[in-house]
């Protein structure tokens, strides 16, 4: 099983503000849905709330320390390890960790692949993506998109792959 992150991040590493995305970038939102469609996604409880429920057409695993948070549209686990083991039990080819900041930070060392969209702006926020060690990953692909009527910022889709030493 390949464990992946998928994230959109500003140039100053912001991913969220007030439990929302700090931008409207419909093209990146479509990319996210296309890449993760039909797969298993693992998310923190706050990201689940930000999404207003489970992501459609995906098996959703939500991580929480709460004993009472038990939505009926998602599998709930009480640790990240348990979430990954649960995902693995379905024998998937790839599992996507979809944030937010707390979950990305605790799993960066575990992922083999990172789908990262750099939104070419700096914004204020309260949720961040952790610093990636450039010696651990290499760029597998890179696609640049200019801002347009619908998408206010230039942005670049990278896929990073972990080096195996």
Ligand X SMILES: NC(=O)c1ccc[n+]([C@@H]2O[C@H](COP(=O)([O-])OP(=O)(O)OC[C@H]3O[C@@H](n4cnc5c(N)ncnc54)[C@H](OP(=O)(O)O)[C@@H]3O)[C@@H](O)[C@H]2O)c1
The yes or no reply on residue 116 touching ligand X (CB under 6 A) is no
Nearer Cβ to ligand X, position 45 or 59?
45
CA 28 to chain centroid, in Å, comes to 12
Please give the structure tokens belonging to residue 51.
């999404």
CA 6, 13, 146, 140 torsion-angle sign: negative
Alpha-carbon Rg for the chain in angstroms = 15
**Least distance to ligand X, CB of residue 102, Å:** 3
The yes or no reply on residue 20 touching ligand X (CB under 6 A) is yes
The yes or no reply on residue 46 touching ligand X (CB under 6 A) is yes
Binding residue for ligand X (CB under 6 A) from 78, 122, 141, 156? 78
Distance CA 59, CA 21 (A): 22
Distance CA 19, CA 39 (A): 24
Binding residue for ligand X (CB under 6 A) from 4, 16, 40, 113? 16
* Residues that bind ligand X in the complex, under the rule CB under 6 A: 7-8, 15-16, 19-21, 44-47, 50, 63-66, 69, 78-80, 98-103, 106, 127
């Amino acid at each position: 099983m390949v464990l992946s992150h998928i994230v959109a991040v500003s140039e100053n590493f912001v991913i969220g503000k007030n439990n929302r995305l700090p931008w409207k970038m419909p093209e990146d939102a479509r990319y996210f849905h296309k890449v993760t469609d039909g797969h298993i996604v693992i998310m923190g409880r706050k990201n689940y709330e930000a999404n207003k429920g489970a992501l459609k057409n995906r098996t959703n695993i939500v991580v929480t320390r709460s004993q009472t948070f038990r939505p009926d549209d998602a599998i709930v686990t009480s640790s990240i390890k348990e979430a990954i083991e649960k995902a693995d039990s379905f024998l998937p080819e790839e599992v996507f960790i979809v944030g937010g900041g707390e979950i990305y930070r605790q799993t960066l060392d575990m992922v083999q692949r990172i789908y990262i969209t750099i939104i070419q702006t700096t914004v204020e926020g309260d949720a961040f993506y952790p610093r990636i060690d450039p010696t651990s990953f290499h760029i597998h692909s890179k696609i640049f998109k200019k801002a347009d009527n619908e998408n206010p910022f230039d942005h670049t889709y990278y896929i990073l792959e972990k080096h195996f030493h």
